[in-house]
Chain A
Amino acid sequence: MRALVACVKICYEGTTRGNHHTMDEATIAVELQGVTKRFGDVVAVDNIDLTITDGEFFSLLGPSGCGKTTTLRMIAGLELPTRGSLSIHGEEMGLRPPNRRPVNTVFQSYALFPHMNVRANIGFGLEMRKVVRDERSDLIDWAIDLVEMGGMGHRKPGQLSGGQQQRVALARALVNRPEVLLLDEPLGALDLKLRQQMQIELKNLQREVGITFVYVTHDQEEAVTMSDRIGVMHEGRLLQIDTPEAIYERPTTRFVADFIGRTNFLEATVASGDEIVLANGDRLRVSTGHADGTTIAVTVRPERLTVHNRDHAPDGRHRLDGIVDSVVYLGNAVIYSVSIDWMHLEVRCPASLAGERRGPGDEVTVSFDAGHTSVVVG
């Protein structure tokens, strides 16, 4: 795989990508402005703004039916926006049909041509662009090697396993050297082990060739490990666009905080500019940017909470008294469920730092650093 990745690099360097753009435009691969897509009464995509930079691994993440595929299909030209504008490398796409857009798609269902063998499938795009036979054949060889499908060039898609079909779909798109590659849950049909292996290979490939990947997934772990940036979608809206770390550590909405990893929500209201009041009356210094009296929630990840013996919590951290409900031992960590006055908190202690093990009924104090919290609305 590594040798092949080097080969990809050479092939890509030979292309003229970017030469016909000004510097400014070249840095923006895909731009959506106020894009809305309706299907009858259903608003599949609701007024989204999105800028994806050149060479970026960008993921669209969200639960089923949130509009990820629709967004991707609009970029590909398979669906036209009801409203808004969409440009690729600075060029407004408008009504331009899919065959005249510099993007290729790896479909959720692969969409391999069942009546053509692997080579014909991979060569289809080249053939449509009238690449001469010899060059086409070389490129097909290259793509087949790239996805390690050597010796299977003459099989029909029906004679391939799911993972092999997925590789062919990838090769069929990559062989065209698109400026932007759109991938719609390409690993969805694979088993866990193969999926993890393909995640690494895809990521390496993307890094080496430097094409922009727009990657759709509903698997938050996949998005977090692979992406440069993630856009989290919910009910057609783009809730937050950020690096995986920022999405995890500083979610801005309750949905995002809840969708990515596990978390605790402490209900609160804004008291004054940078002070909030928790449901139990405790005051906490965090700046919210919301008007006084707004109902908000503070979210804290379980691993940002620590458990202490009652009244032994260090100063400078916010403290909440509670009683241990249950303890789950995970090997590398211990999960405590602690009930405080008005709710339950989930606390995750790394096994190495867990110290003395507490049991149900123990009176404890849970503490956290205000800096490790995020204020979310909704």
Chain B
Amino acid sequence: MLIPCPLCGARDSREFTPKGHASYLDRPAEDAPPQAWNDYLHLRENPAGDTRELWFHGAGCGAWLVVERNTVSHAVTGARLAREVRDAG
């Protein structure tokens, strides 16, 4: 599998480690109700199809990426820097 790192170009997936769904970027506020924290920590979509995942380019530039990937075909259709996804809201 190749992941198109915006900083490094298309690189072998073995340079990356995954962390799970991109919703992990949406950290609740400190005083958010327990249900919000529970959802954030433990509840993940597990789609058969397109999904957005966090990948760390640890053996490369050190960037955290939001990768768009299809869990059925394994097709990777895009990757953005997590920093920019976050800045864009």
Q: Do A and B bind each other?
A: no
